[in-house]
Structure 1
């Protein structure tokens, strides 16, 4: 697969972004208080690693594998967790900070993919990056849904 110098530069930038996302999600999974949130962060970390791998494949001249990794465990479906104690309120606030930071990260990363997609001439690269961007937007939705269902992000 032919990659222009500009595409290579843009892909290297995105690869670095994905590496940061993997580390952030893994780190935040270790800090999260809610087991459901830990599981969500770990799931997204795996998907971010997949994005990193896709970009690496492209940079190595390989056809990217866009198949999503299989999750280890299904995500629990669920309603709102009741929080009554002062400690659980503090945990909720700590988890809210983690979620807010990751939602801001997803917004940023999705926006950078938008620019890179427009700058790529290679249709295979463009398609792979559109696939990743769609995943990034889904991650934002998952974070928003968690926050909204746990009283961390109220839509008025």
Structure 2
């Protein structure tokens, strides 16, 4: 079964992105100081490798993988998230870059990689006619979404990613303006 033009181009872009992610995550894992961060990056890199290999395999012979929808059971409780700003550190580019990244830089890079991967995989899936390619791309998007949330939780727990809040009942008032039909 041949690929359509959109599928071929989208899969090409997703695979390029995945190669970059896998290569960068290997470097981040080596440079991370916190063992928990190293472990998280290692697991995320392994998942990216699986998605990459599945997509490459299927694109070569159209039979390498029959994807199932990925289910994730680990959902955080809203009570575990720290809301509000507590004197956040200023963020700016490093004036004199060094070869060694620090953990917060690594976390931001990993988080942004996952966010972009999720968006790009969803967008690519919308251009694909082949149902297996669509499902593989959606699985990769879901995986990136959950991995991004895991990085967010790690950063939030350490005060690296603070969640601003609104004054008083502003959010509630805004959201309660919508009524069921």
**Normalised by the shorter chain, which TM-score bucket?**
0.7 to 0.9
Query: 2:110 aligns to what?
Result: 102
Using structure 1 for the length normalisation, give the TM-score: 0.78
Say if 2:121 and 2:137, in contact at 8 Å, map to a contact too.
yes
Contact 2:51 2:136 in 1 (8 A): no
Relative distance call for 1:25 and 1:65 in structure 2 (3 A) is: farther
Q: Write out the 4+ residue segments of structure 1 that deviate beyond 6 Å after TM superposition.
A: none
Residues 96-145 of structure 1: CA deviation (Å, up to 9, x unaligned): 11101111121111111121111011111111111111001011011101
Q: CA RMSD in A?
A: 1.9
- Please say if residues 152 and 161 of structure 2, whose CA atoms lie closer than 8 Å, have aligned partners that are also in contact: yes
Question: Unaligned regions of 5+ residues in structure 1, if any?
Answer: 68-92
Q: TM-score, normalising length from structure 2?
A: 0.68
2:153 paired residue number: 145
The residue aligned with 1:33 is 33
C-alpha deviation, 1:65, in angstroms: 5.4
| Structure with the greater alpha carbon radius of gyration | 2
**Change in CA separation of 1:121 and 1:140 when aligned onto 2, cut-off 3 Å:** same
Match for residue 155 of structure 1 among 150, 160, 163: 163
Contact 1:54–1:65 (Cα < 8 Å) also in 2: no
**1:124 maps to which residue?**
132
> CA–CA distance in 1 between the matches of 2:141 and 2:46?
15
Query: Is the CA contact 2:44–2:147 (under 8 Å) kept in the aligned structure 1?
Result: yes
Structure 2 segments unaligned to the other structure (5+ residues): 69-100, 165-181
Q: Which has the higher helix share?
A: 1
